Structure 1
Amino acid sequence: MPLTVHQFPCLSDNYGFLAHDEATGKTACIDTPEVAPILAALKARGWTLDLILNTHWHPDHAGGNAEIVAATGATVVGPAEVTKLTPIDREVKGGDLVMLGETRLEVIETGGHTLGHIAYFDAAGQIAFVGDTLFALGCGRLFEGTPEQMWDSLQRLAALPDDTTVYCAHEYTASNARFALSVDDAPALKARAAEIFAMRERGEPTVPTTIGLEKATNPFLRAPILAGRVGAAGQPDYAAFGAVRAAKDSFKG
């Protein structure tokens, strides 16, 4: 049976996600950006929380752990770096497996935004929870990692099936679209940006996205193409990616 995902806004621009295994009734929340909306969503759905699945240690992703554990008794799963902020019950890293009822969630190493960042992938349902690594038309700022680390992480995500549904953790898409248009004039991007601006005018979320859509339009997956250069045979062009990421950091549009 499938995994049902319930998405809802948290804080100023975060999203919260509840993942519900229909076969067993087991439920996880992906990160804990804000306690009250998470508990309200659980109550509205009539779901009991079993797992907290952290992607990384930042307070807008793990800061609600302790309060939600106190309210629900949920088990906390995440990368070791989360212990800088709050205790966890099970440490996981890339290549590990987490079971949510009958749903198998593969842990993917996606460091760069933070050194130990991870994502969770339901291969059967083709659903990925990517935290702050990949955004709709963007990628996470390099607070701790290097361009090389982030590029390699993005390529692991890009290798997932094109129709994989991607749940990223922030509503940054309109800003990301404005930057993307400043570095890329691809017709597919222009069409997508127009749709995004219209959606935001209507107050509609632009998350989730898909791997295929990001590969076609996201400047951080198209960076070597945009830079007009290709690395040595078999070698990624990390410099091209780093240049696009640095340009986003200083973009004022």
Structure 2
Amino acid sequence: MTNPAPQPSPQPSPEIPRYQEIVSILLKEIEQGAYRLGARMPTEFELCSRFDVSRYTVREAMRKLEDMGLVSRRPGIGTILAATTADGRYANSINSLDELMQYASDTRMEVLGTELIEADEELAALMNCEPGTPWYRMDAQRWASDTRKPFCTTTLWVRGDFAGIVPRIGKEQRAVYRMIEEAHGVTIREVLQDIEGIVLDDRTAATLDAPAGSAGLKITRLYLGTDGQVFEGSVNIHPTGRFRYSMRLQRQDNPSGRRKGTRD
């Protein structure tokens, strides 16, 4: 490993997460050949010292590089430089509401159109509301900072009584549900998510600049408040080759010491 020349740590930006600033610096150094392919990357301790940040921040930065296919973690060895160019896909790892909020901050949504509609039977079934309920519908594209094409189309619905935040959507790089919480005093209870494989129709393919009839991934999310009612919903469609969704599953301890589904 070639140690890069020491540089002063950049001043934190209130708009860019600290780990993302570290990712940008390391990406530039990788492109400039500061690290040899297959060689060990700096340790967490070295990066913490260099950037004056916590181990959590460094781990988030390295996780982002790993999601991009640039580094790999090997037990007993450390973090290895696996590639010098990213694989071109936007990598998404969402395991909590905090990570969902970070996802909104790390990407940019471009709103293509907005209209106030009344829910038909299909939308009412999706949102678990009465037909005729007013909703704001927005058609949009979402971009990552390191992609030249949108990595998804988004259809977003916001309940009609939250009209005040609609003009801010797409202009502020923030999670929509957080805007609603802050502006209207709503507290989110849970997010329901459904993932399915689809075939891109002609219209969606043209919007994404992808081949019609090619494979895609459809992710539907419904945001519920403490009253159990949906106040926001979205359908995101990703073309093949531009998106990767990852999650981490952990075993939960069973306080009773028994396996679920068994009886004494």
Q: Give the TM-score normalised by the residue count of structure 1.
A: 0.28
Greater helix share, 1 or 2? 1
Bigger Rg, structure 1 or 2: 2
Higher relative contact order at CA 8 Å, sep ≥6: structure 1 or structure 2? 2
Greater strand share, 1 or 2? 2
